[in-house]
Structure 1
């Protein structure tokens, strides 16, 4: 038999199989690396989108906290004086209960009736009523709402109104913390430092939000997001 008609030997076949196995393993590793990168980028983008939505919503609400309409003097005609009780601290952080409570004006179209209605003629009269109230001729109505956020069991809960009912706003929350930018005195406008427990709410000029989101599948490390919201309205 001539040499040209001979088949592959055992050593040659083993060598070919080894080379094929190396190529398959290399291609598999490249595929798995690309898949892991895709999953981590997707998880990171999802976390960023969730944080952007939640912090953006809170930013608008904090900016409008303490809103009193056209006049600084407001008469409380709400049921049980609830407005005066909550409006005394329109931005309040309970560190023990991990709850942020806000009294703010509705931003955009709110769901359902507001907590209070501020009716004013922007000249002499400004009265707050419970629920939805219609304006008379020459008056304006501002819808006011109490909003509160609570961090519990790796969930950020959202509630509105005077009741304690809440719904899950965000899952996989590893940390949620708030500090307040304080001025040196009530008359100063610049922030001199931050504190989690402000002694005088009238010195609050901004609110710093810290939110840490994790991935339940471990595709990406926990990401920490920080946002500072400046107050537009001086607090009482």
Structure 2
């Protein structure tokens, strides 16, 4: 064997391969951790966006609860004579079936077909009719909708119209949905002093607190609970 020849021996080669493998594994671990972090943050961001959309829509509707036009006294000429009952209880929460029912005024025509329409001259008369109705000269039309938000099978849905309306899915992967009402100590008080999920007197309701919990179906992030409070703009009966 020529002693002048130089190179790597088998042991040196094995050491180099082992060190290279350690470096590759370290880089792979960093890449996997970075990917998992990105996926988790993306899932959490999507959950926040879903909650922001749903709660924002519900707040908008809640703020219009009890808006029945420009006069306080309205003649009920609806086909089922059910508008008067909706005036008395324009917002209710069924904690057993997880259903929130709202009777709200719709500004413009963005809400689609109304449940009722109040026709008024804003001076002497106001009459409620079923579904859509066009006003005559000198009158205004106020579309009123009954909305039902419901949680079932992990889906929060919304429907318009009667007792069992067609429900449209707003968001999936909902594990909890709860509603409570901020109540004043009396009908004449302005500020809410307590909360209840089943108030006996709608006239004491001043605000609505919504609680929504979303679940990541891939279990990459923990369940996230979102809370929001919406004040009523219109004093209830």
**Partner SS state of residue 11, structure 2:** helix
Residues 126-205 of structure 1: pairs in structure 2 closer than 5 A: 126-164=126-164, 165-205=166-206
**Partner SS state of residue 144, structure 2:** strand
Contact kept, 8 Å, 1:146 with 1:161, in 2: the verdict is yes
Looking at structure 2, the residues matched to 39 and 87 of structure 1 have their Cα atoms a distance apart, in angstroms, of 47
**Partner SS state of residue 181, structure 1:** strand
**Alpha-carbon distance, 1:108 to partner:** 5.1
Looking at structure 2, the residues matched to 180 and 134 of structure 1 have their Cα atoms a distance apart, in angstroms, of 35
Looking at structure 2, the residues matched to 7 and 91 of structure 1 have their Cα atoms a distance apart, in angstroms, of 86
Partner of 1:38: 38
Residues 42-121 of structure 1: pairs in structure 2 closer than 5 A: 42-107=42-107, 109-121=109-121
| Cα deviation code 1:144-165 (max 9, x no counterpart) | 1010111112111111111512
| Cα deviation code 1:85-121 (max 9, x no counterpart) | 2332111000111000000012454353211101111
The yes-or-no answer on 1:221 pairing with 2:222 is yes
Q: Which runs of 5+ in 2 are unaligned?
A: none
Looking at structure 2, the residues matched to 128 and 7 of structure 1 have their Cα atoms a distance apart, in angstroms, of 98
**Alpha-carbon distance, 1:8 to partner:** 1.5
Looking at structure 2, the residues matched to 38 and 44 of structure 1 have their Cα atoms a distance apart, in angstroms, of 10
Contact kept, 8 Å, 2:107 with 2:143, in 1: the verdict is no
**Alpha-carbon distance, 1:11 to partner:** 1.6
**Partner SS state of residue 180, structure 1:** strand
Contact kept, 8 Å, 1:43 with 1:220, in 2: the verdict is yes
Distance 1:10 1:212, change over 3 A: same
**Partner SS state of residue 198, structure 1:** coil
**Partner SS state of residue 228, structure 1:** strand
Distance 1:183 1:3, change over 3 A: farther
| Cα deviation code 1:38-65 (max 9, x no counterpart) | 1011111111111111101000100000
Looking at structure 1, the residues matched to 85 and 4 of structure 2 have their Cα atoms a distance apart, in angstroms, of 100
Looking at structure 2, the residues matched to 218 and 138 of structure 1 have their Cα atoms a distance apart, in angstroms, of 59
Contact kept, 8 Å, 1:60 with 1:107, in 2: the verdict is no
TM-score, length of structure 2 as denominator length: 0.95
- The farther-off stretch of 100-109 and 210-219 is 100-109
**Partner SS state of residue 123, structure 2:** coil
**Alpha-carbon distance, 1:219 to partner:** 1.7
Number of aligned residue pairs: 236
Looking at structure 1, the residues matched to 91 and 218 of structure 2 have their Cα atoms a distance apart, in angstroms, of 35
* RMSD (Å), alpha carbons: 1.4
